[in-house]
Structure 1
Amino acid sequence: MITVKDFYLVRTPLQSIQFLDQFQQIDMAALPAKLFSLFQDPTLQESIYIASPELYQELMKWLQGGTGSEKMCMALYRYVLRMSTRCTPYGLFAGCATGYFSDVTAIKIGQEHRKHCRLDMNYVAELAAMITQLPEVKVQLRYFPNNSIYPVADTFRYAGFTVKNKFRNYELAAVSRSPYLETLLSVAGAGATIDQLCAAIVDEEIMEEDAREFIDELIVNQLLVSELEPTVTGDEFFSYLLKRLSTLSGTEQIAHTLQQIQQLLSDSAAGVDKYLRTHALVQELLPDTKSKDLVQTDLFLATTQNTISSSLIKDLQDQVLPLWKMAKPNTNSDMTNFMNRFRERYEDQEIPLALALDNEAGIGYAHSQSDHTPLIDDLAITTNEEQTNMQWSKFRSFQLEKLHVCMQQGLSSLELTDADLETLKNPVPVVLPSSMYLMGSLHGSSAEAIDNGDYLFEFNGFSGPSSANLLGRFCHGDAQLLAHVRECLREEEQQDPAVIYAEVVHLPEARTGNILLRPQLRAYEIVYLGNGSVPAENQFPITDLMISVRQNKIVLRSKRYNKRVIPRLSTAHNFARNSLPVYHFLCDLQSHMAAGWQWHLPVQPAFLPRVSYKKIVLSKATWHLKKGDAIKALHLPRYITIMEGDNELFIDMENAVSVKLLQTMLEKKEKITLQEVIGTPDQCWIQGASGRFTNELIIPFANKVTVASTLHTNGSEPARRFITGSEWLYIKLYGGSKTTEDMLTTVVAPLIAQVEAAQLADKWFFIRYNDPEHHIRLRFHNNSDPTFWHQILHLLHEQLGQYQKQELIYKVQTDTYVREVERYGAATMEFSEHVFHADSKAVLNCICQLEGEEGERYRWLLGARGVDVLLQDFGYDLARRAGIMKAIREGFFQEFGGSQDLQTQLNSKYRQEMRQLSSFLDPRQDVENGIEGLFDERSAFIREMIPADIAADDLLPSYIHMFLNRILLTGQRKHELVLYHFLSKYYDSQLAIQKKARG
């Protein structure tokens, strides 16, 4: 169930849209005089200084009697347009305020706005780095291990950086492990001074001077980092730095200077004097400091009323939710490639995250067969990325058709219907995130008109997770907003307490800290090249995180807590750009999804109509102009915007200066994009003393969903690794798929008979595998006879004679058996191995009855029957079988692209095979089908030995997967997709029959 939260964030420009009226009768000749008068205002001077100190200097020279150029005047005019029409917060040009839902809509802007100023993170980081280099400070600081360190073989690998032109350039480095280094990293784990670190390694072989030199080298190379490393969560780093300096000796003068800066920036008076004085103070400590980007400022609006009608939001919600029908699934090609490579290399194993993302030791990040398989040979399988292109081809066809109609009929708008949304509906519904936000602008002639339903909503996005993405960075300056955001995130987390939601803490660049800076929003954090703000026990270094792929989903698990971890980045950072693989990966896992409309056309037309659904404007009317186009011939509306990337420039076609600005840009650029303005002055309903204001709303939503979370608890941990000579013998037999299939009946089956007759193993099992060469994996267990493995290898050698002579088997090797404890659970690991034993015996019995091409048909039918029996053995009634099969099928369907074509093919195949499938799933026809008793022994074991508290929902997908791996010859995953689809359809039909019978 989707519900709107009880608050929202409204954003408006500093000035009302009527602020532009004073330019209405102004032409280019009169513009300088008007600007000269206007910018006598200290508040406007301050807003220009924050945006561009260079322009401010030019402005002040002009105001003091200098000459003002046309270029300067046009730059000032652009800023006037910006501060009157654009809602995106930027310095003093626009601000935000927290509002609430009520009985009526009423937002009124006050005058006493509040500024939240802070020193730019770039300079705060520089100050911290400078302070840590002071000898008298260095010895007082505590040092910690670089939290990107992870072990690989006999080395430690980590990320370090160099600074060039104020930018961090990260590089991955490696250092040999040594007892001294490991000791220092261990001692530094909880924080240690240089003296404490030194004392930990000084001994008979290493002198104190050598120890200090070694520690200094570790600090220089960033294996050890100080407690003054910048933070991006918790208290603002400048405040943290001041607080820490107050406890250090020898820093009194620096602390005094920083306190002066803090006092200056907290001054609410208008004007630029405080910024100039701040610049001078920073230069005392950092002489090369420039005035540009010195101070970051957020504006928090004063409102005398700030409510929106609850009934209006309900009406809006009812119109917006259907838009998710045409939302495309998240098809991140980097993530898809990673999952595919992970499965190829590690299959169902769980491995350390740091190892998986290592480009050398792992797989990194971002950066025709002859077998007779009649069930799957003709399936059209696409990757997710290919499927996206196919789906958007369908979407594109729809757009082209609608655009053609609009052009033929001379229509300037396209109105989507419910039938259109059904046409565009994704064949696999997108699962809505648990937390999300709606963003857009509300337009109407008045608040009363809006409450009466006379409004338009300019849609800018419905996206998530989470609802905090666009709110986090403003929480330092708004205590109410912070409380609401924390409550939103708590509710998201409480939906599934078995999952840990962890904030990603990382500082890619000092300047991006301005965007990343946010209070502590969650109880847990994943720390990677950044200082955490939560207690150490609630911080996850990457060495604590394990990764696996389950049902086409990436699962992170904390070793410490044995819980699934969901990474979250609660701020709007473009993390994909020039980021480290770990950070990029963690943020990609957040899997952003969005509903909306984007044109996807092969050729860009000169005009695109407005696209709307009911009262929602999804896409504004757009004109694509080329140099030389005649503006008058376009019949443009009075108000338009020039689109320049993320920037929008408001143009009034009845204003001479605006038209001149448009013409100048057309002369300079080869092409330009214009859009209509929905929020025209008469549709701006938010009131203030100076007139009406444009607006932008961010409205948080919650969705009641549950994350698959359960992980097996580690009770008493069973042994994991078994080398040759231990109680487990692990053998790999390499050969082609048909050769190894023959070996199962002619080599393995006789071998098993000999092993069991001689009591050389109490359990055994096999699986088929590709890594990438095809082979059979055999495992035998005996914990009473230490020589059993010798005897089994001798028997195997005798059985393999003919295959080796003909070189059909090209490699036989033993290996270390590593139990997948995380996958099967500590408490149920041994039970699972017994299931594998019983399952392998059943499958071997089945395979011995398969002959020729007709046998391949029986193979998949036996597979379907074996899955059904297995589910019943675990006590699953028809409804539970239908539920779990639907979930498993969905994961495989998405893995293979999830296309409508694939769905159609699968349904067609089911109709073709339904009769015989039903026969094989009916025990009453076992004798006729020649499969009587094939699974009886396996069933008897499971029903007798199954633990009472087993997590069957978690284990059965793996048991089913391994059963099908054993019985299917090749193309296992494609076969699984088809069989899961068949069984899901069959169970649904049986449920329908039951329901009908009950009346």
Structure 2
Amino acid sequence: MITVKDFYLVRTPLQSIQFLDQFEQIDMAALPARLQSLFQDPAMQEAIYIASPELYQELMKWLQGGAGSEKMCMALYRYVLRMSTRCTPYGLFAGCATGHYAASTAIEIGQEHKKHCRLDMNYVAELAAMIAQLPALKVQLRYFPNNSIYPVADTFRYAGFTVKNKFRNYELAAVSRTPYLETLLAVARDGATIAELCAAIVDEEITEEDAREFIDELIINQLLVSELEPTVTGEEFFSYLLKRLSTLSGTGAIAATLAQIQQLLSDTTTGVDKYLRTHALVQELLPDTKSKDLVQTDLFLATTQNTISATLIRDLQDQVLPLWKMARPNTNTDMSNFMNRFRERYEEQEVSLALALDNEAGIGYGNSQSDHTPLIDDLVIQNNEEQTNLQWSQLRSFQLEKLHLCMQQGKTSLELTDADLETLKSPVPVVLPSSMYLMGSLHGSSAETIDGGEYLFEFNGFSGPSSANLLGRFCHGDAQLLAHVKECLREEEQQDPDVIYAEVVHLPEARTGNILLRPQLREYEIVYLGNGSVAPDKQFPITDLMVSIRQNKIVLRSRRYNKRVIPRLSTAHNFARNSLPVYHFLCDLQSHTVTGWQWHLPVQPAFLPRVTYKKIVLGKATWHLQKGDDLKALQLPRYITIMEGDNELYIDLQNQVSVKLLQSMLEKKEKLTVQEVIGTPDQCWIKGVGGRFTNEVIIPFANKVSASASVEAITREPVRRFITGSEWLYIKLYGGSKTSEDVLTSVIAPLIAHVEAAQLVDKWFFIRFNDPDHHIRLRFHNSSDPTFWQQILHLLYEQLGQYQKQELIYKVQTDTYVREIERYGAETMEFSEQVFHADSKAVLNCICQLEGEDGERYRWLLAARGVDVLLQDFGFDLAGRAAIMKVIREGFFREFGGSQDLQTQLNSKYRQEMRQLSSFLDPRQDGENGIEGLFDERSAFIRATVPPGIPADYLLPSYIHMFLNRILLTGQRKHELVLYHFLSKYYDSQLAIQKKAGTFQK
């Protein structure tokens, strides 16, 4: 059962949307005067300083009589737009407040907002590192083992970093395991001073001086780290640093300076003086400190009222929950590759997580590498997974159909129905997490009309686990929010008393600490290159964690507690970018998301309609503008936003300055994406000083079904692995493509006839493969005779003798058959194997009739006919075949570059072959073409045995791909490109003919 929690977080800009009215009637000439008047306000100056000290300096010179510039004015204007329209917290431009549910909706923004200022973690980390190196303090500190250390053979491996331009560059290092090193790591386990460490290894051979040099070397190389290493959970690290310094001798001057900084940042006075003084104090300790990014600020809104109607939220919940039907299981390539490599390497074993993720001793994770390659380490390469994923998407086909209908009817909005959601339902069920959150914006003319049911909810995402992901970073500044978040996480954990939920504690970059900082939220922590905030016995170093795969799920186990461990990152961090494999892996384990509507189209049209489900806006109307477009002719709404990645810029097309901004950006970038604004001024209902405010709300939910229990309670998975001697025999025959074809027709075909007559097998199938050497993969099944495999191998070796003597078949190899259950589904794996069996027989029948050059021409024609028949066997009419083929074709077209030249070549080739293709796709001409009955047996089997409710649209692309793999001799993927193009063109032409004739045929 899914229930909404008893609180929410509302986010609004600093200023009301009416704050922009003062710019409504002015032009570019009047803009500077208006800005000068506005930025006389110390509060506005403070907001600009926190966002951009450089712009603040320009502003102050201008206000004091210096020359201004249009560039500066437009930068200031953009910030005015930001602080009046965008709700995402950023310095003083937007803030948040915790609210609760009540009988009616009423949110009113007050005036006395709370600023939570802290020194940027980049500088805090620098200060801590500087202090730790001071000789007088170094000897007083306690040192601990680097918690990334793990043993591999006779070495210790660990992650160390160097700092370049204030950024940490991590790389894997290794040192020999020696008795002295092992002793020191053991002594340091609970913390030890340098003197205590020296005493542990001083003996007749090691002097105190030698010991000290050795320990210094370990500290320099980060095998030992001080207690002043930054932490991202628990007490804010700057406060901890101050407290720790107060217990050390000789720290008076530094501690006094840091205390001054803390006092300044706690000052609630409006203005920038405290920041300037803070900068000067930090420069005393770190002379090269810049003002940019020196202080991080969160704004907590004062509200005189902050409630949302409980009835409204239940109504919203009833509309949002069905959207999970559209969710798809995570297509995480890194995780899928890891699981495949793990099975190949370790099979059913449970192994050390540290060892498994080691790039050299284990299998690694993601695109990480242990080598230091400075030229390319900072390059960010976008994942091309979507472009190369050729599996047909039911969603894409649906979108194409609906978009075409909207265009035909001249509609600007696409309204989804319950029937549509059923159509879009994922063929692979997605398990809802036990804790999650809804994020979006609530729009209406007033709180009263919203409570009356007249509202729209702009959907930004439904994500988890957990509900704390977007809330954790704000808990330091809001005690009420912290209490709610802790309660949410406790409830999540109580549903799984037999597992341990552990917070992931890691500091990838010092600056990243600004968003990773959060109080201690859980009882347990996984610590990796960072200090934990819980007791040592509640911390899991990576050496305590074991990993295995159970029921196709990755399972972590603590050796110390002998319990399953579920990692959680309770803050919003883009962990996938340039992160270490351990951290990336732990965070990847938790992600489940339903995002707003995303179009997946082969070609991006100039306009995309709004997409709604009941009162939920899933996707906003979107225009793709190009330089030279006539904006008036596009009939854009008055209010739009320019979309630049995660940034949104509000534009009022009746405002001359806004229009100038839009035009200049379009001139510079040549292409822009803009979207409609749902929260127009008349739809902003939150009241406050100066007018009404736009909003975002984060609404936590709880799922009363145990998430981890759901993981274990998956439908019984069929046996995955079959070794030689089991009910499946798997053989690889290595040889050239033509030799392999000859073996199929001259050896395998008669062998199959014999073993089926003798009832030695009940099903079999083959595929062609390159890894990289060409070979045939044969699989034979018999569940009743445990010796069948020996007899088949004996028969096969007899028949292959001549091929082996001539080295035409140069290797025969048996292997373990591993079913692709993720691809074909647990429920439909065995049916898929039966399809492969029927398909292999049909293909063998086809290729036995192919001879010479004419045979190769017939091959692709038979391939096209085989695909068409397969689609019909699974119930696809002509329109359905056209839709699925269009999507598959587009995927291959993009894979091969998607150029206009390629399109021209394919169209030309289709015109050349159209007549004969049409003949082979027409069953009435089978006799003339000599192909009668070639696919009848396969068709009869599929039509008679296809299970009800099978996700055919999900499976068919794979079935088609495997059929073409079997029947085509070489160059399969290029052949597929051409064949899919041909079939797509053919189906479209047939639909056009039917439409013209006013008929409909299957």
**TM > 0.5 fold call:** yes
Match of 2:179 in 1: 179
CA spacing shift, 1:619–1:392, aligned 2, 3 Å = farther
Q: What secondary structure does 2:306 align onto? A: strand
Match of 1:574 in 2: 574
C-alpha offsets along residues 37-92 of structure 1, whole Å, 9 cap, x if unaligned?
A: 01011100000000000000000011111111111111111000000000000000
Amino acid at match of 1:548: S
CA spacing shift, 1:984–1:450, aligned 2, 3 Å = closer
Q: What secondary structure does 2:640 align onto? A: strand
The within-5 A match list for 1:906-917 is none
CA spacing shift, 1:701–1:911, aligned 2, 3 Å = farther
Give the distance between the partners of 1:598 and 1:179, measured in 2 at CA.
58
C-alpha offsets along residues 556-595 of structure 1, whole Å, 9 cap, x if unaligned?
A: 0000000000011111100010011111111111133324
- Quick check: 1:639–1:652 contact (8 Å CA) kept in 2? yes
Deviation at 1:392, TM superposition (A): 5.6
Match of 1:73 in 2: 73
The within-5 A match list for 1:3-18 is 3-18=3-18
Match of 1:838 in 2: none
Equivalenced residues, count = 754
Deviation at 1:706, TM superposition (A): 2.2
Match of 2:478 in 1: 478
Match of 1:41 in 2: 41
Match of 2:760 in 1: 855
Amino acid at match of 2:464: G
Give the distance between the partners of 2:683 and 2:18, measured in 1 at CA.
12
The within-5 A match list for 1:455-466 is 455-466=455-466
- Quick check: 2:431–2:710 contact (8 Å CA) kept in 1? no
1:538 aligns with 2:465: no
- Quick check: 2:824–2:832 contact (8 Å CA) kept in 1? no
Match of 1:626 in 2: 626
CA spacing shift, 1:711–1:66, aligned 2, 3 Å = closer
- Quick check: 1:499–1:707 contact (8 Å CA) kept in 2? no
Match of 1:670 in 2: 670
The within-5 A match list for 1:606-625 is 606-625=606-625
Amino acid at match of 2:760: G
Give the distance between the partners of 2:732 and 2:268, measured in 1 at CA.
67
- Quick check: 1:525–1:534 contact (8 Å CA) kept in 2? yes
Q: What secondary structure does 1:308 align onto? A: strand
- Quick check: 2:553–2:711 contact (8 Å CA) kept in 1? no
Q: What secondary structure does 1:587 align onto? A: helix
1:310 aligns with 2:310: yes
Aligned-residue identity in percent:
81
Deviation at 1:400, TM superposition (A): 1.1
CA spacing shift, 1:403–1:864, aligned 2, 3 Å = farther
Match of 2:429 in 1: 429
Deviation at 1:428, TM superposition (A): 1.9
1:524 aligns with 2:532: no
- Quick check: 2:13–2:83 contact (8 Å CA) kept in 1? yes
The within-5 A match list for 1:88-107 is 88-107=88-107
The within-5 A match list for 1:335-484 is 335-367=335-367, 389=389, 393-484=393-484
Give the distance between the partners of 2:494 and 2:594, measured in 1 at CA.
24
Give the distance between the partners of 1:698 and 1:66, measured in 2 at CA.
44
Deviation at 1:398, TM superposition (A): 1.1
Match of 1:489 in 2: 489
Match of 2:584 in 1: 584
Give the distance between the partners of 2:2 and 2:216, measured in 1 at CA.
55
Match of 1:809 in 2: none
C-alpha offsets along residues 755-807 of structure 1, whole Å, 9 cap, x if unaligned?
A: xxxxxxxxxxxx99999999xxxxxxxxxxxxxxxxxxxxxxxxxxxxxxxxx
What residue ranges of structure 2 are gaps of 5+ in the alignment? 368-383, 713-721, 735-754, 764-779, 787-817, 840-941, 950-1002
- Quick check: 1:552–1:892 contact (8 Å CA) kept in 2? no
Q: What secondary structure does 2:108 align onto? A: strand
The within-5 A match list for 1:962-973 is none
Match of 1:749 in 2: none
CA spacing shift, 1:853–1:108, aligned 2, 3 Å = farther
Deviation at 1:860, TM superposition (A): 6.6
- Quick check: 2:13–2:84 contact (8 Å CA) kept in 1? yes
CA spacing shift, 1:646–1:897, aligned 2, 3 Å = farther
Give the distance between the partners of 2:182 and 2:62, measured in 1 at CA.
64
Q: What secondary structure does 1:345 align onto? A: helix
Match of 1:597 in 2: 597
Give the distance between the partners of 2:948 and 2:385, measured in 1 at CA.
26
Q: What secondary structure does 2:256 align onto? A: helix
Give the distance between the partners of 1:418 and 1:507, measured in 2 at CA.
44
- RMSD value, Cα: 3.1
Match of 1:724 in 2: none
The within-5 A match list for 1:295-334 is 295-334=295-334
Match of 2:861 in 1: none
The within-5 A match list for 1:437-836 is 437-708=437-708, 741=725
- Quick check: 2:756–2:762 contact (8 Å CA) kept in 1? no
Give the distance between the partners of 1:129 and 1:573, measured in 2 at CA.
24
Amino acid at match of 1:587: C
- Quick check: 1:114–1:300 contact (8 Å CA) kept in 2? yes
CA spacing shift, 1:19–1:984, aligned 2, 3 Å = closer
C-alpha offsets along residues 484-527 of structure 1, whole Å, 9 cap, x if unaligned?
A: 00110110000011010101100000000001111101100000
What residue ranges of structure 1 are gaps of 5+ in the alignment? 368-383, 713-736, 745-766, 775-849, 866-890, 913-977, 986-999
Deviation at 1:894, TM superposition (A): 5.3
- Quick check: 1:323–1:596 contact (8 Å CA) kept in 2? no
Amino acid at match of 2:282: V
Amino acid at match of 1:490: R
- Quick check: 2:455–2:615 contact (8 Å CA) kept in 1? yes
Amino acid at match of 1:856: V
C-alpha offsets along residues 368-425 of structure 1, whole Å, 9 cap, x if unaligned?
A: xxxxxxxxxxxxxxxx989994666321111111111111111111001111111111
Deviation at 1:895, TM superposition (A): 2.2
CA spacing shift, 1:2–1:45, aligned 2, 3 Å = same
Give the distance between the partners of 1:83 and 1:864, measured in 2 at CA.
75
Deviation at 1:704, TM superposition (A): 1.8
CA spacing shift, 1:692–1:266, aligned 2, 3 Å = same
- Quick check: 1:442–1:456 contact (8 Å CA) kept in 2? yes
Give the distance between the partners of 1:497 and 1:415, measured in 2 at CA.
43
Amino acid at match of 2:761: E
Match of 1:957 in 2: none
Structure 1 residue ranges (4+ consecutive) displaced by more than 6 angstroms after TM superposition: 384-388, 709-712, 767-774, 858-861, 899-904, 906-912, 981-985
Match of 1:896 in 2: 823
Deviation at 1:864, TM superposition (A): 13
Deviation at 1:329, TM superposition (A): 0.7
Give the distance between the partners of 2:129 and 2:733, measured in 1 at CA.
52
* TM-score, normalising length: structure 2: 0.72
CA spacing shift, 1:771–1:85, aligned 2, 3 Å = farther
1:151 aligns with 2:56: no
- Quick check: 2:17–2:84 contact (8 Å CA) kept in 1? yes
Match of 1:795 in 2: none
Give the distance between the partners of 2:627 and 2:82, measured in 1 at CA.
25
CA spacing shift, 1:297–1:386, aligned 2, 3 Å = closer
CA spacing shift, 1:982–1:658, aligned 2, 3 Å = closer
Match of 2:888 in 1: none
Give the distance between the partners of 2:510 and 2:588, measured in 1 at CA.
21
Give the distance between the partners of 2:278 and 2:56, measured in 1 at CA.
16
Q: What secondary structure does 1:854 align onto? A: coil
- Quick check: 2:355–2:362 contact (8 Å CA) kept in 1? yes
